[in-house]
Structure 1
Amino acid sequence: MSGKAEALIEQASFSLRGRNPDVLTCIANLSNDEVFTPPEFANRMLDTLAEAWAASHDGANLWADKTVKFLDPCTKSGVFLREITSRLTKGLADEMPDLKERVNHILTRQVFGIGITHLTSLLARRSVYCSKHANGLHSIAKSFMSDAGNIWFERVEHTWEKGKCLYCGASQATYDRGEGLETHAYAFIHTDDITTRLAELFGGDMRFDVIIGNPPYQLGSDGGTRDVPIYQHFVEQAKKLEPHFLTMVIPSRWMASGLGLGEFRQAMLGDRRMRELVDYPAASDVFPGVEVKAGVCYFLWDATHDGDCNVTTIRTGEVVGPMARNLGEYDVFVRDGRSMSILRKVQKRGELSINTILARDKEFGWTSNFDGFHEVRCAEDLPLYYIRTINPAIRKHK
Structure 2
Amino acid sequence: MNNNIHNPDVLSCLANLSSDEVFTPPEIANAMLDLLPQELFSDTSVTFLDPCCKSGVFLREIAKRLNKGLEAHLPNREERLGHIFRNQLFGIAITELTSLLARRGVYCSKYPNGPYSVVRFDNAEGNIRYKHITHTWRGGKCVFCGASQAAYGEQARQEGLESHAYEFIHANNPNNLFPMNFDVIIGNPPYQLSDGGGDGSSAQPIYQKFVHQAKRLNPSHLAMIIPARWYSGGKGLDNFRAEMLNDQCMKIIHDFPETADCFPGINIRGGVCYFLWGKKHKGDCLIVNHKNSDTTKMVRPLLEKGTETFIRHNAAVLILSKVKALHEETMDNRVSSRLPFGIPSNFTNYTRHADIEHSIILYRSDRSKHSDKKVFVAPINITKNIKWKDSMKVLVSKASPGNDEYPHAIISAPVLAEKNSVCTETYLIVDFVRSKEEGKNLISYMKTRFFRFMMSLIKNTQNISKGVFAFVPVQNWSKPWTDEELYAKYGLTEEEIEFIESMIRPMEG
Instruction: Give the TM-score taking structure 1 as reference length.
Output: 0.84
Are 1:160 and 1:172, in contact at CA under 8 Å, matched by a contact in 2?
yes
How far apart in 1 are the matches of 2:358 and 2:75? Answer: 92
Structure with greater helix percent: 1
How far apart in 1 are the matches of 2:7 and 2:90? Answer: 26
One-letter code aligned to 1:96: L
Flag the 1:85–1:355 CA change in 2: closer, same or farther, 3 A.
same
Are 1:254 and 1:261, in contact at CA under 8 Å, matched by a contact in 2?
yes
Give CA-to-partner distance per residue, 1:67-115, whole Å, 9 cap, x none.
1000000000000000000110011111111111101100000000000
State the Cα distance separating 1:223 from its structure 2 match.
2.9
State the Cα distance separating 1:380 from its structure 2 match.
8.4
- Tell me the SS of whatever aligns to 1:147: coil
**Alignment RMSD:** 2.3
One-letter code aligned to 2:334: I
- Tell me the SS of whatever aligns to 1:355: helix
For 1:316-395, list aligned pairs within 5 A: 316-321=292-297, 323-329=298-304, 330-359=307-336, 361=338, 369=344, 372=350, 375-376=354-355, 385=418
- Tell me the SS of whatever aligns to 1:306: coil
The structure 2 residue matched to 1:152, chosen from 129, 138, 148, is 129
Which consecutive unaligned segments of at least 5 residues does structure 1 have?
1-17, 55-60, 390-398
How far apart in 1 are the matches of 2:249 and 2:281? Answer: 5
State the Cα distance separating 1:130 from its structure 2 match.
0.6
Flag the 1:351–1:334 CA change in 2: closer, same or farther, 3 A.
same
The structure 1 residue matched to 2:232, chosen from 256, 260, 266, is 256
Aligned to 1:230: 206
Flag the 1:239–1:96 CA change in 2: closer, same or farther, 3 A.
same
Aligned to 1:4: none
How far apart in 2 are the matches of 1:36 and 1:128? Answer: 15
Aligned to 2:466: none
Aligned to 1:35: 22
- Tell me the SS of whatever aligns to 2:303: helix
Aligned to 1:15: none
Give CA-to-partner distance per residue, 1:198-256, whole Å, 9 cap, x none.
23xxxx3x100000000000113423242111000000000000000000000001001
Aligned to 1:211: 185
Q: Which deviates the most, 119-128 or 220-229?
A: 220-229
State the Cα distance separating 1:318 from its structure 2 match.
1.3
Flag the 1:357–1:75 CA change in 2: closer, same or farther, 3 A.
same
How far apart in 2 are the matches of 1:379 and 1:361? Answer: 23
For 1:130-169, list aligned pairs within 5 A: 130-142=108-120, 144-169=121-146
State the Cα distance separating 1:377 from its structure 2 match.
5.2
State the Cα distance separating 1:149 from its structure 2 match.
0.6
How far apart in 1 are the matches of 2:128 and 2:80? Answer: 19
- Tell me the SS of whatever aligns to 1:327: coil
State the Cα distance separating 1:19 from its structure 2 match.
7.0
For 1:80-99, list aligned pairs within 5 A: 80-99=58-77
Are 2:303 and 2:311, in contact at CA under 8 Å, matched by a contact in 1?
no
Aligned to 1:108: 86
One-letter code aligned to 1:20: N
Aligned to 1:244: 220
Are 1:222 and 1:228, in contact at CA under 8 Å, matched by a contact in 2?
no
- Tell me the SS of whatever aligns to 1:314: strand
Are 2:287 and 2:299, in contact at CA under 8 Å, matched by a contact in 1?
yes
Are 1:73 and 1:115, in contact at CA under 8 Å, matched by a contact in 2?
yes
How far apart in 2 are the matches of 1:31 and 1:82? Answer: 23
How far apart in 2 are the matches of 1:141 and 1:359? Answer: 62
How far apart in 2 are the matches of 1:191 and 1:256? Answer: 29
How far apart in 2 are the matches of 1:146 and 1:25? Answer: 29
How far apart in 2 are the matches of 1:333 and 1:377? Answer: 51
Q: Which deviates the most, 144-153 or 22-31?
A: 22-31
Which consecutive unaligned segments of at least 5 residues does structure 2 have?
361-388, 391-416, 420-435, 441-509
How far apart in 1 are the matches of 2:97 and 2:418? Answer: 60
How far apart in 2 are the matches of 1:275 and 1:222? Answer: 36
State the Cα distance separating 1:20 from its structure 2 match.
3.2
State the Cα distance separating 1:331 from its structure 2 match.
2.0
Aligned to 2:46: 68
- Tell me the SS of whatever aligns to 2:115: coil
Flag the 1:378–1:66 CA change in 2: closer, same or farther, 3 A.
same
Are 2:258 and 2:291, in contact at CA under 8 Å, matched by a contact in 1?
yes
Flag the 1:332–1:75 CA change in 2: closer, same or farther, 3 A.
same
